[in-house]
């Protein structure tokens, strides 16, 4: 179920449906709270909605979880965009 919610969240985000994407990604976080992927996407959505406080929290969670994820996620770290 995690992958389904994550995938649907990504699709909805790309189509500009931020509210739907938020719902799906938050469900993904509930299913796998230690998985960094939905937290990164949530940070990007919140940033676009000018919710910098929530964007920062999600980015910090993503970065904390990335540290535990192992070497195969190094590429994701290089792609991080700093919050203003």
CB-CB contact of 30 with 41 (8 Å): no
Residue 52: partners with Cβ closer than 8 Å, 6 or more residues away: 46, 83, 84
Average pLDDT by stretches of 10, the chain with 84 residues:
97 96 98 96 96 96 84 50 57
Describe the chain by its helix, strand, coil percentages, rounded to 5. 75, 0, 25
Mapping DSSP to helix (H, G, I), strand (E, B) and coil, where does residue 82 land?
A: coil
The per-residue pLDDT for 73 is 47
CATH of domain 2-66: 1.25.40.10
The rounded distance, in Å, linking the Cα atoms of 58 and 53 is: 9
Output the pTM of the full model.
0.78
- Domain ranges for the chain, please list them: 2-66
């Amino acid at each position: 179920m995690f992958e389904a919610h994550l995938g649907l969240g990504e699709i909805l985000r790309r189509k500009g449906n931020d509210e739907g994407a938020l719902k799906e990604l938050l469900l993904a976080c509930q299913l796998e709270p230690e998985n960094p992927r939905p937290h990164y996407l949530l940070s990007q959505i919140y940033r676009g909605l000018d919710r910098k406080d929530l964007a920062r929290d999600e980015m910090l969670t993503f970065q904390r979880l990335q540290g535990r994820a192992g070497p195969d996620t190094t590429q994701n770290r290089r792609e991080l965009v700093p919050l203003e």
